[in-house]
Each structure stands twice: as structure tokens, then as C-alpha cells.
């Protein structure tokens, strides 16, 4: 070995390149996995949000049967539903999430939650509606779906945190930009502070 | 002098050790929740009930563990019941989901077939969470229904063990009809869990445990008392009873019941779900046998989930004898009825059928004359 320094150097470089390649591959794979986890969690959010949207027609029909004159509240829900449906459909269609999607989703879902809260609140004034088995089943279904949304949101944010950490810390911080991996947005819940949806939203 | 410094050194070491220990203890301050979370179950099919809030009797726990073990063996579903003295400021949904994931509910099953029932008496909340692979079988509406219409009356009277058992009966019924219809196959699937075991499905409710001394059973008006009085034939009396059940009438003082039955119903917890269950008898053909003042209505063409009715002829007409039925008939974990005693006046109706050692009447197997 000492007789041929060039050969020694070549082998040394080869080993370095091999080690670095393996290193990059392993970390790249880890980034891919982390991003896949984010995508999966996002798909689950879309699924459970859609589930809530699908429950609404039945709710409107049931409430109409007992509370025909509450047109404004019912219309507000229909409007909020339409808006939310657009965003959720967009969520499913796109492959790579654009930064604006999550906040749009949060806003449309919060608007829908607010409109739904108004319906369930007005049911307090209609005891026969409240006592009907159909309405009670709907309440259970809405509560169940809202819980699923909360769980999905929490798991999505966890996946985003893991992924963002990977691309912000060493070695991901070097590898991510090479392959175009950028930070993902959290799903911030805005439910509490939201105002009912207004026209032109 | 030397020995003084040695003692001082020893003292400092000991003091240092005590301070470290106290600091560590302070850092690892445990909440009720963290203690419960770390109490990882073994999933070996022996213990399914974790009664940290001490709401159950030892006998109650034993019964439940036995039942839940059978549910795991027969239906490949792991049902855990956990009572907790505190939710540590968390929502019951968050608490339950955390426990579900941490304890890997559904581990011994083919997939994620876990059910977790949590009772938090201090916060007055209950929740039943449904594992990912059981969402189709137990909808949120169903779970909400059984919590409201079956479990709640028991829990309000402080009867937590019987309440969980009664709720489990309804769950088992639902599994059975799904198996019967081919919608659920217990042995299907791979024994592997996903990264997450529950998507947050299920339902919860508000229950004030032990807030009532007895269940409130409203009396019916005079007209209805007249309507639900003893009838000239056993069939008519049964019809009236089924109608009372349909209308969720729980008044124990009805003419369609014998006096002992009235006393029995005064103490018995009657739930809407149990009364809804009686609808299975609507319009179903039955066999009727009468001997003197005793009558039996039974269902030889149906399986053992259709228990018989005993009736006695009183001065005003035929009356249902639930008092005797409750003493001599029991239901097993698959909701099949069987005799625990033959010492009653209604055995005449079953003399011609073969009864096995466990008390099951085999209607399709007639004995010789």
C-alpha cells in the first residue's frame, strides 16, 4: 500500500464516496417515509371531513321536518357545506400540498362547525325534534365524526412536526433541499374564535 | 481529626444522595393517568377489567372478565373496561384515545379489533371507543344508543357491574346478527396491528353514577291501566306486554303481571334497549301449551335467543309470570336461554323435548312418547 500512494488515495476516496452515498440514501429514505406519513395523515383528515359533509343532508331533512321556519340557520349550513366541500375536494386532488391548503381547510371547517353548532343549539327549542330517535342518532354521528376529525388533526400535526424536524436538523437540512423537500404546514384549529360564514367568503 | 473529616465526607455523600433522590422524585411526578398508562396489560386473555376507581365488586369483576374472555375467544374482539379516579383535566375522548393507543387495544386479535369502555365517575363521563377494524360493525349511533338506553339507568342507580354486563349483552347481540348475516367473520384477517389502533370512533355521554336510589318508573293513566289489564287468553296478554314494551312503558303495576311479577319489576332495572329488544317477538309464530291455570308460550322454530313466556291464570284473566321466569331461566354469554331449575309448574310444556345437561331445550329433538 505504501508503495502506491495513488492507489491508496483512490481506494480511500471510493470508500468515502460509498459511505456518503449510503448516508444520503438512508436519510433520503427517511425523509420520504416522513413525508408519506404526512400525506397519509392528510388523506385521513380529508376522509373524516368528507364523512361529516355526507351527514349534513340527512340532518337538514330531519330538522326541516320539525322546524320548517328555521330557514336562515339551515341555509347557513348548506352554504358552509358547499364551501367546505370545495376545499376538501382540492385536498384530495392535489399531490403535493400547497402551503395555502391547510389554512383554507381550517377556515372552512371552522365555519362549518359554527353553522352546525347553531343547528344543534336551535334544536333545544324543539323538544319533539330532540327526542326523536333519528335526531339522537344524528347527534351521535356528528359527535363521533367531530372526534375523528380532532384525532386526525392531532395525528397530522404530529406527522408534520416529525417531518419538519427531519428537514430542519442535520443531516436532513442538507439533503432535503437537493431533492426539493420543503416544510409542511400545520393544521391550526380555529374553531373557537370563528364567526359564521358571510357571503363572499 | 482525620476521622472527623471522614464522617463529614460520609455525611455529605449521604446528603447528596438524598437530594438527588428527592429531585428525581420531583421530576418524575406521576399523575393518575401516567400511572395507569404504565400499567400495561398482558393481553393474555385473563384480565379485561381495570377498576382503578373501585366501582366494581370482586364478583362483578370476575363475571365480566369471564364474559370478555369468551368474547375474545368466540368473536376475536378484545373488550376492555377501565374505570379511572381522574381524567387529569383531559377530555374523556383524549384520555380514552391515549389509553387505547398506549395499551395497544386489540393486540391479540386479527387486526385492530379492540373496544375500550372508560368510566370516569369524578368527571361524570363515560366513553366507549371503537377500534379501527370494528367501525363498520359498531357505528357511533349504535354506541350512543346503548350508552343512553341500556347502560345509563344501571349506572345512575350505582349498578356499574350489571350495567357493563347489560351493555356487553347488546354488543354481543349485534356481533351475532352480523355473523349470521355474513357481515362479520371472526376468524378473518391477519394477527397484526396498524400504527394507530383507533381513529377516534365511538361515543360518550354524561352519567351521574349512583345519583338515584331507584329507577323512576312512571305510572300510566287509568285508561292505559285498563288496557294493560289481565286478558282472557294468554296470547292476548303477551300481545299487550309486547305493546307496553314498544311504548317504553315501565309501570310495574299493570294487570298483565302477576303480583310477584309486579314486585319483581318494582326492583328490576328496565331499560329502553331491553324493551326495544322485545320487538323480536312481534308477529313471530309461537307454540302455546295450557294445563289448568298455567300456560307457556314458546318458539320451537327459533334459536335459543327466543326465550319462552310463562303465564298464570288469575281471577281477572291471564297474567305474565316474569318472577318465576327470572328464577328458573338464565342467559349465557351468547344470549341463549337455558333452565337452571326444573322446579316450577311450567315444565309440562317441555316434557316431550330433550333437555341437555346444561339446561338447553332441544325443540327439534323430540323424546319418545
Q: A179 pLDDT band (50/70/90 cuts)? A: confident
- Residue B327 has, within 13 A of its CA and on its CB side, a CA count of 13
Predicted pLDDT at A98: 53
Q: Are strands B78-83 and B114-120 parallel, antiparallel or unpaired?
A: parallel
Minimal CA–CA distance to B364: which of B285, B282, B284, B303? B303
Nearest beta carbon to residue B201 from set A138, A144, A155: A144
Locus of grid cell 374523556: B92
- A-B CB pairs within 8 A amount to 48
What is the Cα–Cα distance from A88 to A109, expressed in whole angstroms?
9
Q: How many residues does chain A have?
A: 201
Asked whether the predicted pLDDT for residue A195 surpasses 50, the reply is no
Predicted pLDDT at A103: 85
Beta bridge partners of B287: B298
Predicted pLDDT at B31: 79
Q: Are strands B287-291 and B201-206 parallel, antiparallel or unpaired?
A: unpaired
Q: What is the mean pLDDT of residues A97-110?
A: 77
| C-beta atoms of A152 and B93 within 8 A | no
- For residue A176, count other CB atoms closer than 10 A to its CB: 20
- Chain segment B72-109, per-residue pLDDT in tens: 999 999 999 999 999 999 999 999 999 999 999 999 99
Ordered structural domains, chain B, with CATH: 33-206 (3.10.310.50), 222-366 (3.10.450)
Q: What is the mean pLDDT of residues A129-144?
A: 92
Contacts of B97 in chain A (CB under 8 A): 151
Smallest CA–CA separation between B168 and chain A, in Å? 19
Instruction: Determine what percent of chain A is predicted with pLDDT higher than 90.
Output: 44
Given its phi and psi angles, is residue B115 left (phi above 0), alpha (psi -120 to 50 degrees) or beta? beta
Does domain A33-193 fall under CATH 3.30.70.2500? My reply is no
**B149-169: burial string, b at 16+ Cβ within 10 Å, e else:** bbbbbbbbbebbbbbbbbbbb
pTM value > 0.80: yes
Q: What is the mean pLDDT of residues A87-105?
A: 71
Chain B residues at the A interface, defined by Cβ less than 8 Å, are: 93, 97, 139-141, 143-145, 148, 196, 198-204
Q: What is the mean pLDDT of residues A23-31?
A: 89
| C-beta atoms of B202 and A147 within 8 A | yes
Smallest CA–CA separation between A193 and chain B, in Å? 20
- Residue A129 has, within 13 A of its CA and on its CB side, a CA count of 21
Contacts of B200 in chain A (CB under 8 A): 144, 147-148, 150-152
Whether B229 contacts B317, CB under 8 Å: yes
Whether B121 contacts B53, CB under 8 Å: yes
Predicted pLDDT at A53: 94
What residue spans of chain A are helical by DSSP H?
A: 5-66, 71-93, 100-122, 127-131, 133-168, 172-179
| C-beta atoms of A144 and B145 within 8 A | no
**Within an 8 Å CB–CB cutoff, is residue A58 touching chain B?**
no
Asked whether the predicted pLDDT for residue A95 surpasses 60, the reply is no
Which residues does chain B have with pLDDT short of 50?
Answer: 368-369
Nearest beta carbon to residue B93 from set A137, A138, A147: A147
What is the Cα–Cα distance from A135 to A122, expressed in whole angstroms?
13
What is the Cα–Cα distance from A166 to A183, expressed in whole angstroms?
10
| C-beta atoms of A145 and B93 within 8 A | no
Q: H-helix or E-strand containing A169?
A: none
Nearest beta carbon to residue A151 from set B140, B143, B199: B199
Beta bridge partners of B314: B317
For chain A, the structural domain boundaries read: 33-193
Smallest CA–CA separation between A12 and chain B, in Å? 42
The complex's ipTM works out to 0.82
Dihedral angle sign, alpha carbons of residues A94, A185, B197, B83: negative
User: Chain A: residue nearest B145 by CA?
Assistant: A137
Predicted pLDDT at A194: 44
What is the Cα–Cα distance from B179 to B195, expressed in whole angstroms?
27
Q: H-helix or E-strand containing B67?
A: helix B58-75
Amino acid at each position: 500500500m505504501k508503495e502506491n500512494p495513488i492507489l491508496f488515495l483512490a481506494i480511500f476516496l471510493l470508500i468515502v464516496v460509498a459511505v456518503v452515498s449510503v448516508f444520503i440514501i438512508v436519510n433520503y429514505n427517511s425523509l420520504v417515509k416522513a413525508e408519506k406519513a404526512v400525506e397519509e395523515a392528510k388523506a385521513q383528515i380529508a376522509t373524516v371531513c368528507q364523512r361529516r359533509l355526507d351527514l349534513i343532508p340527512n340532518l337538514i331533512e330531519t330538522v326541516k321536518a320539525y322546524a320548517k321556519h328555521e330557514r336562515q340557520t339551515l341555509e347557513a349550513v348548506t352554504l358552509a357545506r358547499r364551501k367546505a366541500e370545495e376545499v376538501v375536494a382540492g385536498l384530495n386532488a392535489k399531490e403535493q400540498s400547497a402551503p395555502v391548503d391547510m389554512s383554507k381547510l381550517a377556515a372552512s371547517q371552522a365555519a362549518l362547525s359554527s353553522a352546525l353548532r347553531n343547528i344543534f343549539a336551535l334544536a333545544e327549542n324543539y323538544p319533539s325534534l330532540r327526542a326523536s330517535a333519528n335526531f339522537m342518532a344524528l347527534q351521535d354521528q356528528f359527535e363521533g365524526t367531530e372526534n375523528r376529525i380532532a384525532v386526525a388533526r392531532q395525528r397530522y400535526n404530529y406527522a408534520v412536526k416529525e417531518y419538519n424536524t427531519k428537514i430542519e436538523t442535520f443531516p436532513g437540512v442538507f439533503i432535503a433541499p437537493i431533492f426539493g423537500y420543503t416544510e409542511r404546514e400545520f393544521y391550526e384549529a380555529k374553531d373557537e374564535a370563528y364567526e359564521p360564514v358571510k357571503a363572499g367568503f | 481529626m482525620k476521622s472527623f473529616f471522614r464522617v463529614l465526607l460520609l455525611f455529605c455523600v449521604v446528603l447528596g444522595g438524598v437530594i438527588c433522590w428527592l429531585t428525581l422524585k420531583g421530576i418524575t411526578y406521576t399523575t393518575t393517568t401516567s400511572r395507569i398508562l404504565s400499567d400495561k396489560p398482558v393481553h393474555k386473555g385473563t384480565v379485561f377489567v381495570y377498576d382503578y376507581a373501585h366501582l366494581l365488586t370482586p364478583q362483578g369483576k370476575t363475571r365480566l372478565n369471564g364474559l370478555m374472555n369468551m368474547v375474545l375467544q368466540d368473536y376475536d374482539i378484545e373488550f376492555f373496561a377501565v374505570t379511572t379516579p381522574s381524567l387529569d383535566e383531559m377530555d374523556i375522548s383524549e384520555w380514552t384515545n391515549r389509553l387505547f393507543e398506549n395499551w395497544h387495544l386489540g393486540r391479540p386479535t386479527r387486526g385492530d379489533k379492540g373496544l375500550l369502555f372508560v368510566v370516569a365517575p369524578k368527571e361524570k363521563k363515560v366513553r366507549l371507543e371503537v377500534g379501527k377494524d370494528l367501525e363498520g360493525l359498531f357505528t357511533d349511533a349504535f354506541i350512543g344508543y346503548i350508552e343512553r338506553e341500556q347502560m345509563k339507568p344501571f349506572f345512575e342507580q350505582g349498578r356499574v357491574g350489571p350495567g357493563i354486563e347489560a351493555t356487553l349483552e347488546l354488543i354481543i347481540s349485534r356481533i351475532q346478527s352480523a355473523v349470521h348475516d355474513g357481515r362479520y367473520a371472526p376468524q378473518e384477517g391477519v394477527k397484526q396491528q396498524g400504527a394507530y389502533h383507533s381513529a377516534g370512533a365511538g361515543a360518550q355521554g354524561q352519567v351521574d353514577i349512583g345519583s338515584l336510589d331507584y329507577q323512576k318508573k312512571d305510572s300510566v293513566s287509568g285508561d292505559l291501566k285498563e288496557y294493560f289489564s289481565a286478558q282472557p287468553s294468554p296470547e292476548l296478554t303477551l300481545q299487550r306486554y309486547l305493546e307496553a314494551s314498544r311504548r317504553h312503558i315501565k309501570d310495574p303495576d299493570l294487570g298483565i303481571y302477576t303480583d310477584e311479577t309486579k314486585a319483581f319489576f318494582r326492583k328490576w332495572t328496565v331499560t329502553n334497549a331491553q324493551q326495544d329488544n322485545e320487538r323480536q317477538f312481534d308477529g313471530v309464530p309461537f307454540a302455546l301449551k295450557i294445563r289448568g291455570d298455567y300456560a307457556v308460550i314458546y318458539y320451537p322454530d327459533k334459536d335459543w335467543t327466543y326465550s319462552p313466556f310463562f303465564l298464570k291464570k288469575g281471577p281477572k284473566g291471564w297474567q305474565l309470570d316474569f318472577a318465576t321466569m327470572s328464577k328458573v331461566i338464565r342467559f349465557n354469554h351468547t344470549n341463549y336461554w337455558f333452565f337452571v331449575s326444573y322446579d316450577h309448574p311450567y315444565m309440562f310444556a317441555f316434557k316431550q323435548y330433550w333437555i341437555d345437561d346444561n339446561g338447553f331445550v332441544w325443540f327439534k329433538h323430540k323424546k319418545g312418547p
